[in-house]
Amino acid sequence: MYAFAEADDITFQLETLQDLLDPSTRMVLDSLDDPTGQEWLEIGHGLGSIARELSRRIGPTGVVHATDLDARPVPAPADGAPIRTFPLDLRTDELPRRPYRGIHGRLVLLHIPERRAILARLVDVLEPGGVLVIEDWYCPEPPRVLACADPADEKVFTEVVAGILAVLRGRGADLEWAAATKEAFVEAGLIDVRVTRSDADCAGPGLAHRLYACNARQLRAQLIALGVDEGLLDRFQEVAAQPGLVTTGWRLMSTIGTKPDPR
């Protein structure tokens, strides 16, 4: 189950993720063929920024279908494709069969233990010749601190982010899944599989550090249950906001594959 599904600050978290990752996703979409007039499926649409991006690219003659556990309405931009949202639990619900020419999902499958079975089902509903785009973070270990005002803060930052990763793993996340996605695409029968990689800017107080601080607040009870000291969590909020904090970042890996067309 998604660790943040019922967390506080979820809107702030999703806004931060959009600001942080949408530029990379737009570059991935730029690398694809013109989608004008096509039908696309967006899984885990969140606040809907990529559903709206797809709508703009597809235009009024196509459709964007967008789904999430909490599928709030997503208004389509002017002259864009209509966006039809609906609730869906990828673990248990059947995917509607449509002529999906493209399917996109970001930071979805890494959180779900049934990810490989879901991937196979996504390929199954994809139109022959259609494209699947799955984006996930590769974060097997906490970021390294490259610079900070007080050397003692390095330990604060590393321990709290390590705790966040431990909570995610405990909820079924595979934080190394992104490195295995290309192989999983090939095993699922996709062809022309390729991977692009991008790293977040981690100079403080930037979007990545804002996200870490938000996650630590959202998972505070779980982190304390793991043994993370409350004083450490309080200090972490101050450390993450420091202008002089520079860390390594998590890598977003975007895997793209095409379903063979037997014609």
CA-CA distance, 178 to 255, in Å (whole number)?
8
- For domain 10-258, give the fold: Rossmann fold (3.40.50)
What does the pLDDT look like over 181-225, one tens digit per residue? 999 999 999 999 999 999 877 877 889 999 999 999 999 999 999
Backbone φ and ψ of 80, nearest 5°: -95, 175
Q: Provide the pLDDT for residue 200.
A: 75
Residue 246 has pLDDT above 70, yes or no: yes
Give the pLDDT of residue 1.
56
Q: Quick one: DSSP state of residue 106? A: E
pTM assigned to the model: 0.95
More confident residue, 70 or 178: 178
When the pLDDT of each residue in the chain is averaged and rounded to a whole number, the result is 94
- Burial label for 79, CB within 10 Å (0-12, 13-18, 19+), is exposed
pLDDT for residue 179 is more than 70: yes
Residue 262: pLDDT over 90: no
Q: What is the per-residue pLDDT across 72-122, written as a single tens digit (0 to 9) for each? A: 899 999 999 999 999 999 999 999 988 899 999 999 999 999 999 999 999
The 3-class SS string of 65-92 reads: EEEECCCCCCCCCCCCCCEEEEECCCCC
